[in-house]
């Protein structure tokens, strides 16, 4: 079980100087994939950091499974934009740290690591150091490190933002496969509209600062009725009329927010 609730959440930084978020209300159901899009600086990362427990709300409540978030923990795994791997640990050791922290026996850890490596096609890189891997590979390690914790919610902050266009597409397709095969609650931050529509069950659109939720769009109903997941390639989905329609709607909505930078 891993629901996420934002209830009337405000966030102000630096003694009232910067009002980042205002009156955020959002309910994310267990095993639902929600993407947040919005102009840069609108407070997307701040939302995610409050669920992760790195940042506290100035007022209102951030709940996971009905309980207020107080500190970071392995029940809410984070995939950072800049990967945030431990460069002095090998791929295997990076994935292992969270398992060791859970005091799992060695055999169970071995099995979980092998599973995570297979899931992300990292088997042949298990003993490499992060600097020996490409950006896409490093982000696979970060995702494996998060997945292996078996978290109730997965928090991803522009995880593909630092990747080149081709790698990005591959990772998006893999994340879709992963999310459908092994569904869990995902809060996914992006400023790429297509990515949001392609991946998410619902897309929340935010206003510019102070960030508010402007609109929440249901994607899942369309995805299922139009059978998007039968197309293995992202470009085929992006060609469908139903996809184009949703994408254009979000574009227009964002365009109204001054200060939205084209991606």
Residues that bind ligand ADP (CB under 6 A): 13-14, 18, 20, 38, 40-46, 209
* From the list Mg ion, other proteins, ligand ADP, none, partner contacted by residue 149 (C-beta under 5 to 8 A by kind): other proteins
CB of 11 to Mg ion, least distance (A): 13
The residue among 97 and 216 lying less far from other proteins, judged by its C-beta, is 97
Considering only 41, 58, 129, 136, the residue that binds other proteins (CB under 8 A) is 129
Which range touches Mg ion (CB under 5 A), out of 37-45, 105-113, 203-211, 212-220?
37-45
Q: How many CA atoms lie within 13 A of 31 on its CB side?
A: 7
The residue among 43 and 60 lying less far from ligand ADP, judged by its C-beta, is 43
Site string for other proteins, 79-98 (x = CB under 8 A): -x-x-xxxxxx-------xx
The residue among 13 and 129 lying less far from ligand ADP, judged by its C-beta, is 13
Q: How many CA atoms lie within 13 A of 231 on its CB side?
A: 15
Contacts of 9 (CB under 8 A, 6+ apart): 21, 23, 24, 25, 47, 50, 57, 59, 60, 61, 62
Q: Is 205 helix (H, G, I), strand (E, B) or coil?
A: strand
Q: In what order do the strands lie in the sheet with 202-206?
A: 76-79, 153-157, 185-189, 33-37, 202-206, 213-218
Contacts of 88 (CB under 8 A, 6+ apart): 129
Classify residue 207 by its DSSP letter: P
The residue among 82 and 167 lying less far from other proteins, judged by its C-beta, is 82
The residue among 44 and 145 lying less far from other proteins, judged by its C-beta, is 145
* Among 166, 157, 164, CA closest to 235: 166
What are the backbone angles phi and psi of residue 213, rounded to the nearest 5°? -85, 120
Select the residue whose beta carbon is closest to ligand ADP and give its number.
Answer: 45
Is position 217 an interface residue for other proteins (rule: CB under 8 A)?
no
Q: What residues line the site for other proteins (CB under 8 A)? A: 52, 54, 71-74, 76-78, 80, 82, 84-89, 97-98, 100-102, 129-131, 145, 149
Q: What residues line the site for Mg ion (CB under 5 A)? A: 45
């Amino acid at each position: 079980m891993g629901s996420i609730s934002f209830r009337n959440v405000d966030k102000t930084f630096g003694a009232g100087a910067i009002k980042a978020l205002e009156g955020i209300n959002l309910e994310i159901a267990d095993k639902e994939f929600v993407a947040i899009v919005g102009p840069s600086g609108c407070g997307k990362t701040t939302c995610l950091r409050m669920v992760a427990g790195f940042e506290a709300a100035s007022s209102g409540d951030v709940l996971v499974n009905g309980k207020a978030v107080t500190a970071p923990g392995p029940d809410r795994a984070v995939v950072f934009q800049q990967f945030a791997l431990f460069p002095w640990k090998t791929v295997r050791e990076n994935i292992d740290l969270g398992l060791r922290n859970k005091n799992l026996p060695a055999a169970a850890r071995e099995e979980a690591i092998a599973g995570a490596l297979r899931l992300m096609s990292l088997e042949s890189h298990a003993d490499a150091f992060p600097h020996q891997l490409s950006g896409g590979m490093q982000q696979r390690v970060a995702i494996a490190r998060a997945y292996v914790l078996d978290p109730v919610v997965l928090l991803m902050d522009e995880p593909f933002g630092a990747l080149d266009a081709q790698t990005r597409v591959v990772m998006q397709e893999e994340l879709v496969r992963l999310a459908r095969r092994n569904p869990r609650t995902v809060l996914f931050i992006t400023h790429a509209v297509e990515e949001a529509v392609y991946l998410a069950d619902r897309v929340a659109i935010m206003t510019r600062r102070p960030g508010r939720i402007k609109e929440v769009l249901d994607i899942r109903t369309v995805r299922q009725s139009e059978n998007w997941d039968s197309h293995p390639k992202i470009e085929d989905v992006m060609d469908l009329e139903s996809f184009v329609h949703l994408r254009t709607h979000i574009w227009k909505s964002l365009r109204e927010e001054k200060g939205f930078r084209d991606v």
